[in-house]
Structure 1
């Protein structure tokens, strides 16, 4: 099915003539809370420290790996390409759509004349049925192909098939060759559109996808005017064959720039290590069998042949001498039904791998979307197949003028689709648009055609009906696509678009067959009855050729008889089309709005996210300074006394006034406390100064400042080239009552009733279902757990965050208590907010935590944090090295993980027994150069030593913001060295390269990354007498290297080996002397 009008509508608009498209709660106080167990964290059970938010903490406490190769490739491409390359790719996609739409405009307007040259005008729908079925059925194997091989590889195959089809159509001499060429052409043409659809889905988040799809259809607004005139020019001067010939040359040429961009970035991703070539180990014979199974060739043949043989008789029977009694008709019908039955049995009981993703199509929303697609196309092709001929025969329109009228649908659909996409984006509503506007408007337009598509009515009434139908199409196509895609994850987008394409193809083929059946069983008899006696003998010849029909002068008895016959056939086709439309209402009712559409189109926050928002690839290059807004700086710069459990006066304006202090250490991003309104009560655990006891997601916390203050802070950061990350909680709200007596009415709608929350229960941390559905705290203050399956509630919560992101220019989000929210909702949240999100998944098991990178951009690297703290506090480095290897293998993007030494939930690093400033410096050095994004908690630079919440939430003004503090200067130096190291070679290469452990001992660890080797120690201020022998470095034998801390030099031996001499327990960062820059003169 072709992908016109909304790119997907594939609307027949162009080749529609050919049929192408288509229990009582347990009360638990924070101090009694049980926490993540030994099994989940992988650590021995230790003393548990509750946090203000209720999330338990311990005093010591991851392109997906399973994705197909093609999906991994496109995800890798999305990581490495620049914004300019993305924009260029979209420009190329637009150009391809433009040329393809112009191609369709010209070819569809010429089709009646092509068929008439072969005396086969009545077979217009027949030639398209088989190709339409193949084009739709093969989309599923094409989806499999591009998932396995890759998007650009699939685009090459489809372009080749399309070009072959165009060449064959240009040189064909009979209708049989033309029909065969159609199969090549439509498989290739629809395949090109399908791959581009998937590309758009790959490169757009769900919130903006409707707009992206609608934008891709806009070329049709222009080409619908140029196409008919060009078609008339081809027909009048060079002939219809040259139209096919020209596009057989032009089509591959316009696709080449897009292929260049995709392949060049694929090679770049491979060079940077994001794509790794894997040998299958199969022989040629084994590979052929593998792909035979993977693409379910038997299933494809059965369903394609079954539908073709079943549907063709409907269009052909009328032209047979014995009509439905003809042996060929009966045989095709019987074989068709038998093959379809065989397909069902084969797929259920015998197929090693089914090409239809049954696990997807059983979803009620997907079923509704596919059903709506099939019904829409069946109805469309019922009235559209002979529309161009009708306009020229009945209303005396030229090819150009008929083409303009014919294309009203395309223009209106493409234009209105943009409006509908914006409406979906803003309102978050799909089902109401389809149910109350799309389907009724379509019914009105087609229903009116029963009366107005008759010779007795002027063309103006026909145009009116077309406008109604066009606007309905703009609504229905976008709604069916967005609803279906919202129901699946990224890996299934190609498959779900293919299923939609198959549904449209089958629906279109059914519509074409019914139209053909009506036409062939109506027009011949009507012509024979209406023609004058002198022409009755030529009824068959007239029936088979549009040119013969137009040859009769207007007003002649023969011409008016032909017009009368057309009116009879058109009325019957529009009646049948109107009857089918009734099914649309039933299909739209399948859309599961509460569980899907409202959740997803929480998406509807705003037209665009922050223009300064950074991609995950850009966040890898950042370093983040985490602070608590209330404890960092006051507006006027005062240093008031601070009660540890009360508001102390820190504000957003205070942060803005101290940005020099933060930037002086080298940080280019800050992470601030949650910004929403919190409960005002002074609870048994103090005030909500930390920001995690939110009670109104739609209002800012007045203790921190005004909306203008927050926007001013964001603007000030962006003016310095820095980024703003905010902490967000979507798992729960807070109430200063126990779970048994929460007054829900104080919350804003739709959170103002118990139905917005899960039933209170205490969490069993050995049960993930309990973690997701029970309350973090049931004592006072309790934390009512939001029911994410309540569509309106979830939509409101996500919209509130997305609105803050847009309004205040937020660049990233730290998502609190992420493991307490089901992953499917995290996926929707990530796509809705449209910015980088790192989630808190408090667990030490790398495999478990890695499951959250995918739904979210990133996670806090708790699996690394546990052994990291142990190792630098005197433990063996081997555990840390092992964890680094595991984390690197199970996470999809280890360099996007957020690494830390401490935070507001965990004891400060300086509070650890036996710690000293030398260990601080070593740990900070490791943090800055290991894989991932370094996050430093405010006060680390002054060795704040709060052991646990709330003591680890001191006011920073007590330090006097001393920029001469040892660790302040050390952090600044580390940033300078990091900039030096990342500037050698490609910057993106450094930040996409993982740190590699090249040696450990009880006292030392050596890692290499980019141009540096970092050697860290855990002996602390007591120093060490022995150095560490490093081997396996990236340095060459004979290289002169230098330690950027002490300026000590060394010479590299064989195998990249050298001695990293003892340095009083301090870390060393080794680099080739020629690369040291201004360090160590």
Structure 2
């Protein structure tokens, strides 16, 4: 999934109403990463919990996990779960404990399939859709609910306690799902939400309704929390804003459907049925997601990834354990403190003595005392505090939390009575009022995607918040002071709503992303919870202030504006929206109510505007340079796979193949090299020699496998080549660290070059014969015989035997992975996918591809998401062509056999015939990888009789025929090793001589190739196949684009036959030039000209006018 869909954390009106719920949902990454080392040791496999991307394990550089010592200590470096799929980190070493819920989600990530992941995301989106629809319906009905209890003025009061609980309980709920598990927590939260909905459906007084709200909001927040954690498990820092934004898109639909549905409920079945329906619908839509999570949890347990452990605690000890873990005392103190402190602001207006009332004073004093007690308790007495005090000193965190609190305070100041205002003052129906009310939701949902994209591509957060979001919010709310009055058209109010919506969509995303970017990954969950608490407190303060203004303004304004006949009913009218709407428009009573509303609304918008000024101060706290650097660094690490070259782009490449161990050492030394042992080549050594490679013109390298290999000495030496892997989740420490591999990838990309790695998914390796393999040494799920096919020797006349039997049964044996074992094969495939993602791999050469069933190759290609060329060692074009489709490409073995024979003095006719066949049976012959030799085949120079002219001819053909040219390291120095292992020499023996004859020839070929492909459309050149226009025993001519290439196989002895080319693309009378010798010729009829070889050398003909700087 290129960009997995995630959440936007409430960036619209309805989302802002519940944003305090979701903004603080802790990501499990922090705990997962801190606990991962012990899990990895125990399970011997990594798991994937995130981008983007998300089917199973993800690789990570060692410094980010720090589970094992690096290669310098001689120990293997683990390939583990990333913090943010590659984000830079300076974090401390992981802890040695792991919560059971974390282990469960890790195990689920290991075992589930891609289709199950897609299904889970679909379920998450459906839950968000239903929840948003429920919010739209019930929020539109809220004034009528309260009016039925003659308590219209208490609209803010009912939400204050639930808002506070929603904010305060975020971290305890995080603890709950980390200890018990994600699906278990989802069940608990769904139960609480459902209880709340049922209570609201059957309540008969405002007290029961308020209690129901507490159940509902804790459950509703908890559902959002678990879903956001699920999304965070498969997200990353730079892409998270986009993911959050797209998850809010249901609101674009439900904001239109909700008001109409609310009106229908109210008019026909009553508001109670609205709550009743959703008390049934909510658990139903969550059941499919629970099924996916629980079924994969059971699968993980069956495979041994989840080990049930007894705590050893008694019931009493368990109660005390959870009492401490959830910091119950701290929760009670802060919840009661905020509730008692904030409620008087909303209630004072309804008290007889108002602020002089004893109840008001007592609540204020107790509230302040409890908040003070909370601070002292958490600082000095709490065994386990749920407030991460060490984080709130960071300037960006302070700014983000302050911005969140101010945003929500300002929002709730003008929002609480807005729906009533639209109906009373502008005569709108429930449906129409709901549409206007939800302009904010729609605008936020739309604009959040735009802002998220801007953050994704630029990493800029502070300018968006400080110079766009805050000023636009100030403008929108400030204009409402003037326009939100009975004397102005509703159109002006809508204009203000649009301004505020765009501002809200900007600010919510910015504050979240700034907070997460400012801290280490281990603190992301905690900081989200603190941010959520800030939003909840700000919202509660805003609601309290709105309630205070309303209750201290509207009653007096009504008494003054109502006609004498209605003044006695002022209290009744004040408490019921239905009573207010019952007066006919234009009547003295109705217009008096409208006038009173205008006075109250003006005061509320003035207060809201005043609060907004604090936004600018808080936004200035953001550390802009640090945020930009972190976002761009994370993106560079993370999105290399999503920007990897397509097959069409790979057609334009040329690849330099090398064995890591034999190419270059880190220090640039030239140690003695035993041909069957590790010689010291490293990824850092390759990086240090990129000038050497790029000097020949190559824009891609293909390196040997990167995973851990068997360490034992075998009868065939060490596994220096990388093809005897025994742990696909661990990097090979002989080649360097994860940071070294990432550094190589970054260095290549910085030069405009690409990285291709060799991969083996068909088998692992064991230093025992097939009859006595010790499977327990492999990491799970490969640690049993059931993960592999039954040992048998291959019958190469039987494709079933090729796919199911072992490539080697002797020592060391190559146990053949059972591709029909979905759990095992998924783990293998996804291990590669995560290496690709973490280290920015652009392409894969897949070893022994013909030994893997095609249906599984298709899954592999889909999982890795990059160009894959497979090794199908067979000369039959029709057979090999069957693998292009499941894979992007194959090595062109059908062409290799006649190619080598032709240049060794054979006839060119077989090569010409094969070129035609390959072009017709493969779906894209230009994407095939052509080669003269490689690590499995004898070097070309070992066959050609010490004749460099043949080398130059063959290299010329390779560079200009259809397909991607691949040159095996050492060819440029005419290395002559025959078969394995002699064809795996150390390159440092050449001294990396850039004056070598073939080195310079290859560089020249690249220059000519660039010239030829630059005439006309470049893509057209590389999508056009080379066409054979003439052959003889000693010559072959091909045309491609603007050039005609004539090669010879006679070598330095020179051709004995002449050769005339006909059928070229040149016109009669054209002047052409050979770019090697600068010989010129005039083209005759039919595109004919003489091209007899000059001492056996190849020729590349081009129109003289197109020769560029060649042949001055």
Q: Would you say same fold, with TM above 0.5?
A: yes
Which SS does the other structure have where 2:1100 is aligned?
strand
Q: Residues 235-282 of structure 1: CA distance to partner in whole angstroms, max 9, x if unpaired?
A: 000000000000000001111111111222222333333333222111
How big is the shift at 1:194? 1.7
Aligned partners of 2:136 and 2:259 also within 8 Å: yes
Answer yes or no: is the 8 Å Cα contact 2:424–2:581 preserved in 1.
yes
What do residues 640-672 of structure 1 show as CA deviations (whole Å, max 9, x unaligned)? Answer: 999999999999999999999999999999853
TM superposition shift of 1:70? 2.2
1:605-616 → structure 2 map (5 Å cutoff): 609-610=640-641
Partner of 2:216: 185
Cα–Cα, structure 1 residues 1003 and 436, in superposed 2: closer, same or farther, change >3 Å? same
Alpha carbons of structure 1 residues 670 and 555: separation in structure 2 relative to 1, 3 Å: same
Q: How far apart are the structure 2 equivalents of 1:22 and 1:958?
A: 44
TM score, norm. by length of structure 1: 0.58
Q: 1:710 to 1:512 in 2, by over 3 A?
A: closer
Q: Deviations over 1:754-796 (max 9, x none)?
A: 9999999999999999999999999999999999999999999
User: 1:65/1:553 Cα in 2 relative to 1: closer, same or farther (>3 Å)?
Assistant: same
Contact 1:47–1:59 under 8 Å retained in 2: no
8 Å CA contact retained: 2:49, 2:109: no
Residue 360 of structure 1 and its aligned partner are, at CA, apart by 2.9
Q: Which whole-Å CA distance do the structure 1 matches of 2:96 and 2:676 have between them?
A: 44
Q: CA deviation at 1:291?
A: 0.4
Map Cα deviations across residues 310-351 of structure 1 (whole Å, 9 max, x no partner): 000000001111000011101101110111111111111111
Structure 2 match to 1:23: 55
How far apart, CA to CA, are the structure 2 residues paired with 1:895 and 1:76?
Answer: 42
545 and 206 in structure 1: CA distance in 2 versus 1, 3 angstrom threshold: same
Name whichever of 161-170 and 150-159 sits farther off: 150-159
Partner-residue secondary structure (3-state), 2:36:
coil
The 3 A distance-change label for structure 1 pair 1005 and 552 is: farther
Q: How much has 1:184 moved relative to structure 2?
A: 0.2
Q: 1:236 to 1:768 in 2, by over 3 A?
A: same
CA contact (8 A) 1:29 1:779 kept: no
| Counterpart Cα distance in 2 of 1:18 and 1:706 | 23
Question: Relative to 1, partners in 2 of residues 1:40 and 1:714: Cα closer, same or farther, differing over 3 Å?
Answer: closer
Q: How far did 1:159 drift?
A: 0.6
Equivalent position SS for 1:16: coil
3-state secondary structure, aligned to 2:512: helix
Of residues 533-542 and 1064-1073 in structure 1, the stretch that sits farther from structure 2 once superposed is 1064-1073
Matches within 5 A, 1:953-992: 954=985
CA displacement 1:121-171 (0-9 Å, x = unmatched) = 000000110111111111111111122222222111111100000000000
Deviations 1:896-940 (A, max 9, x none): 999999999999999999999999999999999999999999999
Report deviation, 1:427: 1.1
Check whether the contact 2:62–2:78 (CA below 8 A) recurs between aligned residues.
no
Spell out, residue by residue over 1:717-738, the C-alpha distance to the aligned partner (whole angstroms, 9 max, x if none): 9999999547999999999999
**Contact 2:1074 2:1102 (C-alpha < 8 Å) held by counterparts:** yes
Aligned pair in 2 of structure 1 residues 663, 452: CA closer, same or farther (>3 Å)?
closer
> Which stretch of structure 1 is more off in the superposition, 211-220 or 737-746?
737-746
CA distance in 2, matches of 1:69, 1:524: 55
Give me the whole-angstrom Cα distance separating, in 1, the residues matched to 2:437 and 2:794.
63
Shift in Å at residue 442 of structure 1? Answer: 0.7
More off after superposition, 405-414 vs 877-886: 877-886
With 231-240 and 1043-1052 compared, the bigger mean Cα shift is at 1043-1052
The offset of 1:855, in angstroms, is: 33
In the alignment, the residues of structure 2 paired with residue 333 and residue 1074 of structure 1 have an alpha-carbon distance, to the nearest angstrom, of 90
* More deviation, 672-681/167-176: 672-681
**Partner-residue secondary structure (3-state), 2:1047:** strand
**Cα distance in structure 2, aligned partners of 1:89 and 1:27:** 22
Find the residue that maps to 2:49 and give its secondary structure.
helix
CA drift of 1:374 comes to 0.8
2-side partners of 1:474 and 1:1060: how far apart?
69
Q: 1:39 to 1:1044 in 2, by over 3 A?
A: farther
Cα-to-partner distance string for 1:473-498 (whole Å, 9 max, x where unaligned): 11111111112222345554433322
Conserved? CA contact 1:20–1:505, under 8 Å: no
CA drift of 1:81 comes to 2.1
Q: 1:812 to 1:30 in 2, by over 3 A?
A: closer
Residues in 2 aligned to 1:188 and 1:435: alpha-carbon distance in whole angstroms: 35
Higher mean C-alpha deviation, range 635-644 or range 754-763:
754-763
Deviation at 1:363, TM superposition (A): 2.6
* Cα separation, 1, equivalents of 2:158 and 2:51: 8
Distance 1:707 1:184, change over 3 A: closer
Partner of 2:813: 782
Q: Deviations over 1:409-448 (max 9, x none)?
A: 1110011111111111111111111111111111111111
Do 2:872 and 2:893's aligned partners in 1 also have CA atoms closer than 8 Å? yes
Report what 1:14 is aligned to. Answer: 46
The separation in 1 between residues aligned to 2:848 and 2:160, in whole angstroms, is: 54
User: 1:913, 1:170 → 2: CA distance?
Assistant: 89
Pair 1:263-2:263 in alignment: no
- Contact 2:84 2:521 (C-alpha < 8 Å) held by counterparts: no
Whether 1:417 aligns to 2:448 is yes
Deviations 1:355-409 (A, max 9, x none): 1122333332222211111111000000000000000000000000000000001
Q: Identify if the C-alpha distance between structure 1 residues 54 and 379 changes in structure 2 by more than 3 Å, giving closer, same or farther.
A: closer
Tell me which moved more, 157-166 or 275-284.
Answer: 275-284
User: Secondary structure in 2 aligned to 1:685?
Assistant: coil
Determine the C-alpha separation between the residues in 1 that align with 2:563 and 2:789: 78
In the TM superposition, residue 588 of structure 1 has moved relative to its aligned partner by 1.4
Contact 2:517 2:627 in 1 (8 A): yes
Q: Secondary structure of 1:1071's match?
A: strand
SS of equivalent residue, structure 1 residue 5: helix
CA shift for structure 1 position 809? 8.2
Q: Aligned partners of 1:346, 1:1015: CA distance in 2, in Å?
A: 86
CA contact (8 A) 1:198 1:494 kept: no
Tell me: CA distance 1:936–1:1056, structure 2 relative to 1, closer, same or farther (3 Å). Answer: same
Counterpart CA distance in 2 for 1:43 and 1:397 is 72
731-740 vs 620-629, which moves further = 731-740
The CA distance in 1 between the partners of 2:178 and 2:876, in whole Å, is: 30
Q: CA deviation at 1:592?
A: 1.9
Per the alignment, residue 371 of structure 1 pairs with 402
Preserved CA contact (<8 Å) 2:776 2:784: yes
Deviation per residue, 1:493-550 (Å, 9 max, x gap): 4333222221111000000000000000000000001111111100000000000000
CA pair 538-887 structure 1, distance change in 2 beyond 3 A:
farther
The CA distance in 2 between the partners of 1:627 and 1:187, in whole Å, is: 58
Q: CA 1:479/1:1041 → structure 2, altered by over 3 Å: closer, same or farther?
A: same
Contact kept, 8 Å, 1:1025 with 1:1062, in 2: the verdict is: no
Displacement after TM superposition at 1:85 (Å)? 1.6
Q: Is the 8 A contact 1:207 1:425 kept in 2?
A: yes
Q: Which moved more, 1:255-264 or 1:1015-1024?
A: 1015-1024
Whether contact under 8 Å (1:43, 1:844) holds in the other structure is no
Contact 1:434/1:476 (8 A) holds in 2: yes
Q: Residue 642 and residue 681 in structure 1: after superposition, are their counterparts in 2 closer, same or farther (change >3 A)?
A: same
Any idea what SS the aligned residue of 2:390 has?
helix
Contact 2:48 2:110 (C-alpha < 8 Å) held by counterparts: no
Q: Which moved more, 1:1070-1079 or 1:487-496?
A: 1070-1079
Structure 2 Cα separation of the partners of residues 23 and 806 of structure 1: 12
Partners of 1:5 and 1:64 in 2: how far apart? 8
Q: CA, structure 1 residues 257+787, in 2 after alignment: closer, same or farther (shift >3 Å)?
A: closer
Deviates more, 1:652-661 or 1:691-700: 691-700
* Greater Cα offset, 992-1001 or 856-865: 992-1001
Distance 1:51-1:448 versus aligned 2 partners, 3 A rule: closer
CA contact (8 A) 1:20 1:132 kept: no
Distance 2:212 2:444 in 1: 29
The change in CA–CA distance for 1:1015 and 1:446 in structure 2 (over 3 A counts) is: same
Give the one of 100, 106, 118 matched to 1:69.
100
Q: Is the 8 A contact 2:1047 2:1099 kept in 1?
A: yes
Identify the range of structure 1 (178-187 vs 430-439) with the bigger mean alpha-carbon deviation: 430-439
Q: Which moved more, 1:990-999 or 1:400-409?
A: 990-999
